[in-house]
Structure 1
Amino acid sequence: MSPSIFSTVAQLVITAIWMFSLSPNFCKAWSIDSSCIAFPQVQAAMTEALNLVIYAKLRAANAPPRLGTSMVDLLAAPNENDPNTLEFVQTWYQNVIDAASVPSPDGIVIQCTDANLTPIDLANRKYIDTKRGNKVVYAPKIPGATLTDNACGGFIKAFAYPADRQQIVLLCSDSNSGALKSSYSDLLGPWRTAGDLTALTPVKEKGLDALGMYLSTMILHELMHAASMAEQLKKLQFAQFPAILPDEVNGQPIGEIYQYSPISGKQLGDSISSGQSTVNNLQHNADSMALLAASWYLPVYKWVNGKCGVIPKADRAPATFLNTPTPPGPS
């Protein structure tokens, strides 16, 4: 074989290996801690959470126009097709995908117990992670709630924290309030193509908040925090999705905002808001982004003032966009 032919063949082989390594079907990145063995639903829910952001990014970028009031209600956008807001959500949904694609042992780790978090200063909810070199961790504070001494506190659904080059997503299992015990046991996916979501009792009673009860949406909320932590590793910047939002309200700092009515300022079904937080705050609010992705993930439905309605077939987005990537899988 001549040197030129050998060189050409070698280049083709190298190119093939490189393309193979980039194939979404073979991308293994985020990982699941051994504490999740008792919770087999976690892997499917994490995969669905990534499918939510993949679809939401494509939905933000592609026709047909978005219907309902999800982006107005959750991000204080001027309308559902505001180009600046759509560009913002595409950026941060892509950042979630990027964070979940970091190869293990770095990157996102899903954990299902707080047993490795030992308290050292309960008054300030300060712990050390005995599994990760006694890394200092601050667990969430819940104003007005009486918490137990463990990090999940007998009350918290989930939280995320950085540990060097890892982002830990802790799904609480210490009480019936924890994400692993309070979330719906099934996935959102089947509602994309079958059934009548508008007839589901939780949807009739809770509206958009019903989507927040799925484990995949709860995980996505934490992935917004994790992506923010991952971006901070790349460059010096403030957290995009912090526990305390950037703009004060009535001269007082406020924590992140959960659920439809507190975010939108609307009662379910009402078109008038009694008072919504600032655009800046809502664009820093993890629950806004998680609920938005969940609302878009179901192409049959629109959410008008938090209530579920059916989109006529001619106006629906496709269930799958062309060249939709496969989500990164667990290591």
Structure 2
Amino acid sequence: MERETMTPLASSYRAALATAATDALRRRRRPQQLPGRTVVVQGHQIPADLVARYAALFHRSGEPLDPQDVPSVLVHVAAFPAAMELMSDPEFPLPLLGMVHLENRVVHHAAVPSGTPLTVAASATALAPHPSGTTVDLVVTVHGPTGSAREDGDSPQLLWEGTSTYLAAGVRLQGQERPPRPGHPEFMAPALTARWSLPGSTGRDYASVSGDYNPIHLNPVTAKALGQKGMIAHGMYLAGRMLAGREPAGGGFSWGIEFATPVLLPGTVSLNFDHPAPGRTKVTAWNGRRQRPHFTGSITVDTVDGSEA
């Protein structure tokens, strides 16, 4: 399915609410397989003013960001509505509302410019049983404009690709067998090298930039109604904080983040930034009071020959 405009996140959330109401009213059973379609948006542009607002949120130094080199998480923000359109489809087997963000894996191949027509494609894959429900991967790619082909081919250059894994807790598809719950070693906090203090407005501040007004991030009452202990930080906000000031200019790096327990707002996050090898950063974040992990992450810069540093 190709189009020239991106479906707004608000429209996807409204569609998800309507589908949830219909499912409850009619006791409709959702499909048991993923929709066999890819959402493709041609000519999508990332506004330069969005880069400036992102910089104001994450880069407290006040220095502007290069609008021709959009931060990696902002690329995700700009492109992910295509994946949200898939997840809000009535034929999608898992309910969008209340879905839990587990992991992101991103390869940022080259600089992504703002104000330039890009091609965004989104598809869903890897529907799989999980000890707590069912998971799915949403795969998004961003290609450069026509005429931005690499020297070794005629296709537009692949600039950015990301995979986001989500969990629909408590949802079982027909024929699924619940896999055993893996054991986890006792968490041992590393040395403290940084601390984030996140105010109660964090979810609303990030939503004003990303357009992601998921109620679990905005209000403790709605968050609890959707199964959370209180309002929680966006996973991609945490990824943005992790990458701020650490991603190299011009692309050529990869990063990942895996979430363990939500960060309740307001809250404080303890962190360790470790550098086990040149070009590689490992990140551990945890609740210092309860000694429970929040997330682990990594940033890996490519070497000249294209291999990982």
User: TM-score, normalized by length of structure 2?
Assistant: 0.28
Query: Which is greater in Rg?
Result: 1
Greater helix proportion: 1
- Larger relative CO (CA 8 A, sep 6+): 1 or 2? 1
